[in-house]
Amino acid sequence: MALNLKKSKESKAEPDLTVTGASAAENAQSSQEGSGAEGKSSQETAAGTKSTQEASEENTPMVLAENLVKIYKTSDLEVLALQGLDLKVERGELTAIIGNSGSGKSTFLNMLGCLDEPSAGKLYVDGRNLFKLNQKEKDLYKRSTVGFVWQNNGRNLLPYMTAFENIVTPMLLTDVSEKERVQTADELLDLVGMSHRRNSRLSQLSGGEQQRIAIAIALANRPKLLLADEPTGSVDRKTADYIFDVFRHLNSDYGQTIIIVTHDVELSKKVNRVVAIRDGKISSERILKEKYTNAFGTGKVNWMEEDTQEEYSIIDRAGRLQIPRHMLDELALKDNKILVSMENDKIMLSAPETKKEETED
Ligand SMILES: Nc1ncnc2c1ncn2[C@@H]1O[C@H](COP(=O)(O)OP(=O)(O)OP(=O)(O)O)[C@@H](O)[C@H]1O
Ligand SMILES: [Mg+2]
């Protein structure tokens, strides 16, 4: 297929089409409000030669979160949803975020999508400080830099329109020609395996099929960053695998930067990089082992059984470290004190009693 993108396995270059990432529903609304000037500037940026600013943006990571804090305050309660989250995502990476319910995954993703603001900290996407954007810049950012796929795809879709019309809608705000809109929508339908349902209304499609259309909509205007919050949460195993393969194909063949929140252990084992959030900050990170990087789709790996990733703990800027719970349990600490010592080039953590016994020996 010749999706109107640069295939960028080597260069990881950004697609040079006009970009918008808003949902069909959001775009339908904003096109009624009218915003020709923004549409034009977005088009100029995409089509024109690269400015110095754009060139320098390409040298920055796609996402840089520094000490992000989010406190939700209700009348009787304060919830610390993010507690100093640090994360860097390079351009062209496919990253999965995992973590227990309530650990802050959606809170973080919503901030990346400019749908929420932090209580403290910094967040840069594509070289821009998201919390310095005014309302107009935020609207443009949502249309031009990020695409969002939710678990509940009702947020992305217009049920009374066909699959094709839903995908075309985000492009109506740009000055992409009608011919190009049709071509791109058909290519995206093909990419998500839904060409055969091109003219079906969304209400006539299954949940998994609707989710595939939601991905096509999020991609319609070539967002630089694709965000997906539990995109396979409401579909069966086979559909989840299919949807995940679409994400991986987009990443490996088109250099699309993608961040996926998932509870799906099997899927997360197939990703190059998985970051785990615990209590509102990144606690550990798993990286796919070298020998598995080209094993996708070969059928030679049992992704559930094999240990495909190397796990690392994350040290925060103050030198703090979250130790995996099962290791702490094995140390059976009596209180919250632990002995830290250096042995050759290793830092050793031990329970005080154990250390004492060793010394007496
Ligand atoms: N609008 C809100 N008001 C108050 N508290 C909130 C709000 N949104 C989220 N929280 C709280 O913030 C914490 C983090 O929520 P978040 O939705 O980010 O979790 P999550 O990791 O996405 O969980 P899940 O896997 O269940 O989707 C939770 O304790 C949640 O109750
Ligand atoms: Mg969530």
Cβ of residue 106 lying under 6 Å from some atom of ligand 1? yes
Look at residue 361 in the predicted model and tell me its pLDDT: 53
**In this predicted structure, what is the pLDDT of residue 51?**
56
pLDDT value, residue 252: 87
Tokens of 74: 């209700």
In a domain, 182, yes or no: yes
Q: Are residues 243 and 161 part of one domain? A: yes
Question: Is there an atom of ligand 1 within 6 Å of 278 CB?
Answer: no
- Give the highest mean pLDDT range of 15-19, 59-63, 262-266, 355-359: 59-63
In a domain, 25, yes or no: no
Q: Are residues 148 and 280 in the same domain?
A: yes
Question: Where does the pLDDT of residue 39 fall: very low under 50, low under 70, confident under 90, or very high at 90 and above?
Answer: very low
Are 264 and 347 found together in one domain? no
Question: Quick check: 201 pLDDT over 80?
Answer: yes
User: For residue 47, is it within any domain?
Assistant: no
User: Do residues 116 and 229 make contact, with C-beta atoms less than 8 angstroms apart?
Assistant: no
Mean residue pLDDT of the chain comes to 81
Task: Of 25, 257, 216, 30, give the one whose Cα is nearest residue 139.
Answer: 30
303 with 342, same domain? no
Q: How far is the CA of 146 from the centre of ligand 1 (A)?
A: 21
Q: For residue 358, is it within any domain?
A: no
Total number of residues shown for the chain? 361
Q: What 3 state SS string does the chain have?
A: CCCCCCCCCCCCCCCCCCCECCCHHHHHHHHHHCCHHHHHHHHHHHHCCCCHHHHHHCCCCCEEEEEEEEEEEECCEEEEEEEEEEEEECCCCEEEEECCCCCCHHHHHHHHCCCCCCCEEEEEECCEEHHHCCHHHHHHHHHHCEEEECCCHHHCCCCCCEHHHHHHHHHHHCCCCHHHHHHHHHHHHHHCCCHHHCCCEHHHCCHHHHHHHHHHHHHCECCCEEEEECCCCCCCHHHHHHHHHHHHHHHHHHCCEEEEECCCHHHHCCCCEEEEEECCEEEEEEEECHHHCCCCCCCCCCCCCCCCEEEEECECCCCCECCCHHHHHHHCCCCCCCEEEEECCEEEEECHHHHHHHHHC
pLDDT, tens only, 93-148: 999 999 999 999 999 999 999 999 999 999 999 999 999 999 999 988 988 899 99
**How far apart, in whole angstroms, are the C-alpha atoms of residue 43 and residue 18?**
5
- How many structural domains is the chain composed of? 2
* Category of 143 on φ-ψ map: left (φ > 0), alpha (ψ -120 to 50) or beta: alpha
> How much is the pLDDT for 266?
77
With the most atoms of ligand 1 within 8 angstroms of its CB, the residue from 69, 75, 105, 232 to mutate is 105
Distance 104 CA to ligand 1 centre (A): 6
Task: Report pLDDT for 26.
Answer: 46
Residues 330 and 298 in one domain: no
Q: In percent, how much of the chain has pLDDT > 90?
A: 45
Residues 260 and 299 in one domain: yes
Mean predicted confidence (pLDDT) in 284-305: 81
Comparing 183 with 38, the larger pLDDT belongs to 183
Cα separation, 127 vs 50, in Å, equals 15
Q: How far is the CA of 110 from the centre of ligand 2 (A)?
A: 10
| Cα-to-centroid distance, 80 and ligand 1 (Å) | 9
Q: Is the pLDDT of residue 41 over 50?
A: no
Most ligand 1 atoms within 8 A of CB, residue of 77, 107, 111, 278 to mutate: 107
In this structure, the answer to whether residues 101 and 191 fall within a common structural domain is yes
Q: Does residue 83 sit in the same domain as residue 223?
A: yes
Q: pLDDT tier at 288 (50, 70, 90 boundaries)?
A: confident
**206 and 332 share a domain?**
no
User: Has residue 84 been placed in a domain?
Assistant: yes
Residue 349 carries which side chain, given as an amino acid letter?
L
Residue 207 forms part of a structural domain: yes
Question: Quick one: pLDDT band at residue 52, thresholds 50, 70, 90?
Answer: low
151 lines ligand 1 (CB under 6 A): no
pLDDT in tens, 136-158: 999 889 888 999 998 776 667 88
Question: Looking at residue 159, which CATH number applies to its domain?
Answer: 3.40.50.300
Please indicate, yes or no, whether residues 309 and 329 belong to a single structural domain of this protein.
no
pLDDT at 38: 35
- The predicted model gives 227-231 an average pLDDT of 93
Q: What percent of the chain has pLDDT over 70?
A: 80
16 found inside a domain = no
Q: Is 80 part of a structural domain of the chain?
A: yes
Give mean pLDDT, residues 308-335: 86
For residues 226 and 266, which has the higher predicted lDDT (pLDDT)? 226
| pLDDT at res. 228 | 95
Reported as a single tens digit per residue, the pLDDT across 77-92 is 999 999 999 999 999 9
Residue 327 and residue 303 share a domain: no
Could you tell me if 207 and 335 lie in one domain? Answer: no
pLDDT at site 268:
83
pLDDT surpasses 60 at 48: no
> Whose CA is closest to atom 17 on ligand 1?
106
Taking residues 41-63, report their average pLDDT. 58
Q: Which amino acid is at 245?
A: D
Q: Which residue has the higher pLDDT, 134 or 47?
A: 134
The number of the ligand 1 atom at minimal distance from the alpha carbon of 230 is 27
Which range of residues forms the domain containing residue 347?
A: 323-353
Instruction: Mean pLDDT check: name the lowest of 42-51, 220-229, 295-304, 327-336.
Output: 42-51
Q: Report the pLDDT averaged over residues 188-212.
A: 92
